Amino acid sequence: MRRQVHSKEVKAAALKRLADRGVTIEDIAEVVYLMQAPYHVGLKIESCIESVNAVLEKREIQHALLVGTELDILAEKGMLSEPLQSIVANDEGLFGCDETLALGSVFGYGSIAVTTFGHLDKQKVGIIKRLDTKRGNGIHTFLDDLVASIAASASSRMAHRLRDEEEAEREKNMNLDPENNDQQAG
Ligand code: MG
């Protein structure tokens, strides 16, 4: 009989995989912070952590993480067939499947996610830079792009949330303003 995998099992496996491959939620939140701090005065790292956790709830992202890191791990063990083994192990610049897989999971978060992903793909920052396969600390050909996509999605999600909060706050203040109430009454 075919086994239907429960989403709890997928989520737990994806989070474990991230941790096993040396990436913490805080590492990704740090990238989100760097991307969004210029736009939000007093941005807190806690908001970034919350956003990363929310993005990691998405099944599509969990699946991409499992697929990409599986290929990284198999390449580390020399278990892929040639020429894929060499392409993944060398992080061949023209390969592109690593970026495509990662890019596929940012679309749900809109244009800020897409442009931030493009930026992070070029200007590798924080954990994304530390994961560079060419630095000789394991094979992370897929993982660096996946981390960039999680950070990009979390950045976009947060940008929209913060705007909603600002607007709600402004509306609340307007309703409390007696002058404004007078005008409405008049
Ligand atoms: Mg890559």
The CATH code of the domain that includes 38 is 1.10.3760.10
The reported pLDDT for the residue numbered 185 is 47
Domain-embedded: residue 165:
no
- Taking the centre of ligand 1 as the mean of its atom positions, its distance from the CA of residue 43, in whole angstroms, is 29
- Taking the centre of ligand 1 as the mean of its atom positions, its distance from the CA of residue 130, in whole angstroms, is 12
- Taking the centre of ligand 1 as the mean of its atom positions, its distance from the CA of residue 177, in whole angstroms, is 53
Among 101, 169, 105, 109, CA closest to 141 = 101
Domain-embedded: residue 186:
no
Q: What is the dihedral of CA 120, 54, 109, 35, to 10 degrees?
A: -30
> Are 105 and 65 in contact, with CB atoms under 8 Å apart?
no
The reported pLDDT for the residue numbered 132 is 85
- Domain hosting residue 137, numbered range: 7-158
Q: Which residues surround ligand 1, an ion (CB under 5 A)?
A: 98, 141, 144-145
- Taking the centre of ligand 1 as the mean of its atom positions, its distance from the CA of residue 98, in whole angstroms, is 5
12: how many CB neighbours lie within 10 A of its CB?
A: 12
The reported pLDDT for the residue numbered 181 is 58
Per-residue confidence of the chain (186 residues) as pLDDT tens digits?
788 999 999 999 999 999 999 999 999 999 999 999 999 989 999 999 999 999 999 999 999 999 999 999 999 999 999 999 999 999 999 999 999 999 999 999 999 999 999 999 999 999 999 998 777 789 999 999 999 999 999 999 999 998 998 899 899 998 887 776 555 544
Domain-embedded: residue 1:
no
- Taking the centre of ligand 1 as the mean of its atom positions, its distance from the CA of residue 24, in whole angstroms, is 18
> Are 90 and 140 in contact, with CB atoms under 8 Å apart?
no
Evaluate the CA torsion angle 149, 152, 156, 158 in order and state its sign. positive
Q: How many domains does the chain have?
A: 1
Domain-embedded: residue 31:
yes
- Taking the centre of ligand 1 as the mean of its atom positions, its distance from the CA of residue 111, in whole angstroms, is 21
- Taking the centre of ligand 1 as the mean of its atom positions, its distance from the CA of residue 22, in whole angstroms, is 16
- Taking the centre of ligand 1 as the mean of its atom positions, its distance from the CA of residue 44, in whole angstroms, is 29
- Taking the centre of ligand 1 as the mean of its atom positions, its distance from the CA of residue 139, in whole angstroms, is 10
The reported pLDDT for the residue numbered 142 is 97
- Taking the centre of ligand 1 as the mean of its atom positions, its distance from the CA of residue 99, in whole angstroms, is 6
The reported pLDDT for the residue numbered 19 is 97
